[in-house]
Amino acid sequence: MRINRGVHRVRAYVRSAPGTYVWLAVLFVTTVALHHMSPEFEEEFLRQRSTNIHELSSNPLRVLVASAMWIDSGHWLPYVVLYSLFHAPAERWLGTARWLAVCAAAHVLATLISEGALLWGIRHGMAPASSVNTLDIGVSYALAGVIAVLVYRIPAPWRYGYGFAVLVVYTVPLVTGRAFTDLGHFTSVLIGFGCYPLVRGRERTRNPKETATASAG
């Protein structure tokens, strides 16, 4: 009986955030596919789906979508945890359309800004010319944006501590590493914070009793 209740709760939770778990399912399939590729083929395969300067200049829409369907680390399980902790609550709170808008804004804008900064670095001799073909895929920009937008779901004064912690986590790598991806992650966080118009009217944190009742129904 307890097992059946547990399964029912898991199913209800997954159904409450369909976009999150469809995305996770796609990432599972693509991750399995990566594990069946040779290292040489995998690198070239991913490079063609990378949001690097070369691909963005020739196939921007295709690579912006394709790059968000692959995990560069090849490890899927950590993303199950991260998606369940951040994406699923954000989708349930905002609704699928608004959640997807935050994801898209963070992924697209952070990619364009970070790659633009890299192009500037190449033109000014601060990065090698080969960087136009660098490998840049993954879902971390969208995740960073969603982590940031969740600050508006947390009541004051706790939201200020959460927001500060998010800034620290993403600012330290930018200051110490100064890689274009660090700039992308930091930009994603700022975009997430800037998505307040999408969450206006939804700032009130859910009552746990209301959530439990809704899940049971």
pLDDT, tens digit (0-9, with 9 covering 90-100), for 49-97 = 999 999 999 999 999 999 999 998 779 999 999 999 999 999 999 999 9
Q: What is the mean pLDDT of residues 163-171?
A: 97
Half-sphere exposure of 59 (CA within 13 A, CB side): 11
pTM of the shown model: 0.88
> For residue 210, what are the CA distances in angstroms to 81, 88, 130, 149, 199?
24, 17, 54, 22, 20
For the stretch 168-202, pLDDT in tens is 999 999 999 878 999 999 999 999 999 999 888 77
- pLDDT, residue 135, reads 87
pLDDT at 18 over 80: yes
Cβ neighbours around 159 below 10 Å, total:
16
What's the CA gap between 147 and 195, in Å, rounded? 12
- pLDDT, residue 118, reads 95
For the stretch 86-136, pLDDT in tens is 999 999 999 999 999 999 999 999 999 999 999 999 999 889 999 999 888
Task: Give the burial string for 67-77 (b: 16+ CB within 10 Å, else e).
Answer: bbebbeeeebe
> For residue 100, what are the CA distances in angstroms to 4, 107, 147, 177?
31, 10, 13, 29
Exposed/middle/buried for residue 160 (C-beta within 10 Å: 0-12, 13-18, 19+): exposed
pLDDT at 206 over 80: no
- pLDDT, residue 204, reads 56
- pLDDT, residue 214, reads 33
Q: What is the mean pLDDT of residues 139-152?
A: 97
Confidence label for 213 from pLDDT (cuts 50, 70 and 90): very low
- pLDDT, residue 185, reads 97
Q: What is the mean pLDDT of residues 32-56?
A: 91
Name the residue with higher pLDDT: 152 or 5.
Answer: 152
Q: Which residue in this structure is represented by tokens 């968000």?
A: 68
The secondary structure of 69-98 as a DSSP string is: G--TT---HHHHHHIIIIIHHHHHHH-HHH
What's the CA gap between 56 and 49, in Å, rounded? 10
Confidence label for 203 from pLDDT (cuts 50, 70 and 90): low
